Structures are given as structure tokens and as C-alpha cells.
Copies of this chain bind each other. A is one copy, B any other.
Amino acid sequence: MKPKRSSTIRDVARLAKVSPGTVSRSLAETTRVAPATRRRVLAAVETLHYRPNPAARRLSTGRTQTIAVLVPFFTEPSISERLHGAVCALAETPFDLVIHNVVTPEQRAHGFRRFLNSDQVDGVLIISLTPSDEDAAQVIRADLPAVLIDADHHALGGLHRIVVDDVVGGRMATEHLLGLGHTRIGFVGDFVDNPFQATASRDHHRGYRQALAAAGSAPRPEHYAEGRHCRKDAQQLAREMLSLPEPPTAIVAASDVHAFGILGAARDLGLGVPDDLSVTGHDDVDMSDMLGLTTVRQPLYESGRLGMRVLLDLVSNPRAERSRQVLPLELVVRKTTARPRF
């Protein structure tokens, strides 16, 4: 069955003239072993190029030393920045990272099922994915350490979360535009009922309406559009909205990716930005700076890093009380917003 077997703990034991147990102890930093013995063992390990078999260790200890990450489409720059932060936080530890990519709701459910209730991972980090109530209940029941990044929901009270206040974010962007003097402000975002139940766009829209209401301005239904979370859809949607008899003079985008689409639409239509149209984004991904996009920045990389840290803490101390950390938001004014011209 096994063509070339790598050396086992017994080979090392034999060479070092000790018992397997002693080898195991010598390798564990924590256990006390006579220095001379440990040296001998380590030498044997070296010459045999011995590497402990992780599967065996897992089986024996019940700890897996691996963390699962559930994440949708990590082609999205915002997602990949979060993921990057998480990966970097893990790099400093001996933990492995297994990735489960989610592109359909079935895969989401499958992802949960796969890691729950099967001593497969020590913890799971969930990025920009809202578990169904059922999934959440299962996680809590299985009492598997879990932390959610960019997902918030009433049924999630029992889970650790790293979030920003997206409602406030939506308000910030809208108030900025209002302050500039815009009155016809549109909104382009994700389908509220999107496959992953991402809530950011919905909350941005909520903040947008709050800001408008506070300014005594009523949002027009035709100035709202939702689509899939991608540039193309946003571009198409914006093109339609901007072709209206009374187009908006500014658009709040639910994300920078949406904003890029809107910028594309403006270009298609020969509209100058910010002269004919102001646009705001959300996230501040890498490219936004280069495009001069005015946006509401959130700490993406940091969210991943922090989420992973919290998770690792949780793994070593599962009894920590549930926390919900809210990261700061910051309006970054660049070149896609200006006063409307009459």
C-alpha cells in the first residue's frame, strides 16, 4: 500500500536508543527530559529527517491543529484582503489553514456540515457569509470555536463577530454628498436577497435612507438599483439609472466594486466625474486610491487578522465570553465627489 514509508517515531527511538515515548516527549517543548537524552533524540531526528505524522498526532490528541476558513469568491478584492489578514495571523502559529470556498448556498451548508461534528478542525473563521439560522444553531450546539467577520445577525448572538457599523457607513457616505449640496442621490448595491445573505449592502442602504430622511429628502424609488455583487452588474444598473429623465447627480455605491462599475457607466455615457456625477464607494480596496475614489474605508486586512487572533484565543480558551468587536470607519475624500453643478 505505502510505497515509500517515511521514518516513524520508532525509527528515531531505535537510533537514539530510547523509547518512543521519550522521543515524543523530547519533541514536546513543554515536557521535562534529560538534556543529554533530548540532544541524542534531536540528532536522530535530524539524520532521519523525521517529521511527525500529523494524522497520527491528531488522532491521538483529538486536536487537529487546523483552522477552517469559509469564504465566498475570494476573487473580490475586499474578501481577499480580509483573507490575507487571516492567513498572516495564522502564519505565526503552527496551525494549518484549510479553505472552503463558497459560491452557492448549498456549498455554504456543506461547508458547515463538513467541519461541524467531525473532529476535523479546531475552529472556523467565517468571512462575509451569514450562516443560516440553522447553521448558526449547529455551530453553537457543536460548540466549535467560531468567529464571524463581516456578518451580523440576531441569531448570531452566541458567536464572536468582527464587524463594522455598515448603517453608519452608509450614512457617512450619504451625508458627505448631502453636505456637498446634492439632492438627487442614487444608490446601487447588491441584491438584498443575495445567496450569501451578506448584509453590508442592505445596511448601507439603510444608512443612506436615514441620512436622506434626516435631511428631509425623500429617496426616489427609481434611484435605487440592486444586482449581483460585481462590477458588470453595477455598470449596467448605473447606466440605466443615469439614463433616466431625471438622473441622480450622485450615487452611493454599496462597495468599491460597485463604484468602479458606476464609474465605468459614467464613462460609457460621457459623463464627467465628479463634474456631472459624484460617486462614493465602500471599503477602500487597493485600486480605489489609484482611481481617486471617494470612499468609506474599513480595515479589511485588520479584520482578517483580528478575527483570526480572536479565533486562536478561543481555541486555546473555549470558555471566553462571546464578543462583538466593531471596527472603525473613515470617510476618505478623493476625487470622485464634488458639488453638483446646476
Contact = CB atoms under 8 A, between A and B. Distances in A.
A34 interface: no
A6 B290 contact: no
Nearest to A119: B53
A224 interface: no
Interface string A242-270: 00000000000000000011011000000
Contact of A287 (B51, B91, B287): B287
A28 interface: no
How many chain A residues sit at the interface, stated as a range, is 35 or more
Interface string A29-65: 0000000000000000000010111111011011010
A63 to B, nearest CB: 9
B91 A84 contact: no
A318 B228 CA distance: 42
Interface string A1-39: 110101000000000000000000000000000000000
A62 B4 CA distance: 11
A117 interface: yes
A135 to B, nearest CB: 14
Interface stretch (A92-100, A202-210, A324-332): A92-100
Given A52-B118, A62-B1, A286-B231, A99 B101 contact: no
A107 interface: yes
Contacts of A100: 97
Contacts of A4: 143
Interface stretch (A72-80, A151-159, A276-284): A72-80
Nearest to A88: B101
A288 to B, nearest CB: 11
A55 B49 contact: no
A66 interface: yes
Given A75-B80, A97-B99, A117 B6 contact: yes
Given A4-B143, A98-B97, A101-B87, A53 B118 contact: yes
A290 B53 contact: no
A236 interface: no
Contacts of A183: none
Interface of A: 1-2, 4, 6, 49, 51-56, 58-59, 61-62, 64, 66, 73-75, 77, 80-81, 83-84, 87-88, 91, 96-101, 103, 107, 117-120, 143, 231, 260-261, 263-264, 286-287, 290
The 10 closest A-B pairs by CB, nearest first: A51-B118, A55-B58, A55-B59, A87-B101, A2-B62, A55-B55, A75-B84, A80-B80, A96-B98, A97-B99
